[in-house]
Amino acid sequence: MQMTECAFCDAMGLDPFKIPSPFSKCQVCWGRGTVSVADKTIMCVYCGGSGKHPELRLTCPVCWGKGVVNIVREPTMICPECGGTGRAPESKLPCLRCGGKGVIGVSK
Ligand SMILES: [Zn+2]
Ligand SMILES: [Zn+2]
Ligand SMILES: [Zn+2]
């Protein structure tokens, strides 16, 4: 594990959407400004590393606000379902095939 800056609040420690108040602590890092992530991570393609849900004022459902996700076991390939965007083509929800990561492990 390692510590990284909280993507959701930009390491400010406050809720970026001021919910329920401007003084609300960031729900991802609980106001610390940093979050613990796995040693090897990749940027979350679903939210573009912002930690925020692309459509809603919520944490990204794929990385839970951290902006990064655990690396997929190698070798990997671009997810054929979403073309690497992490979004299901029609629903815009996280792609079920890759879980929103945009890449999948190549099964042997
Ligand atoms: Zn935070
Ligand atoms: Zn994300
Ligand atoms: Zn996918």
Q: How far is the CA of 80 from the centre of ligand 1 (A)?
A: 32
Domain segments of the chain as ranges: 72-108
Neighbours of ion ligand 2 (CB under 5 A): 44, 46-47, 60, 62-63
Q: How far is the CA of 106 from the centre of ligand 2 (A)?
A: 22
| DSSP symbol at 24 | P
Query: Which pLDDT score is estimated for 57?
Result: 94
Q: What is the mean pLDDT of each run of 10 residues along the chain (108 residues)?
A: 96 95 96 96 97 95 97 92 94 94 90
Q: Nearest bound ligand to CA 9? A: 1
Distance CA 106, CA 44 (A): 19
Question: What DSSP line would sit under 72-83, residue for residue?
Answer: PPSSEEE-TTTT
Query: Which pLDDT score is estimated for 92?
Result: 86
Query: Which pLDDT score is estimated for 75?
Result: 93
3-state SS assignment for residue 52 = strand
Query: Which pLDDT score is estimated for 28?
Result: 98
- Are the beta carbons of 61 and 67 closer than 8 angstroms? no
Distance CA 21, CA 38 (A): 31
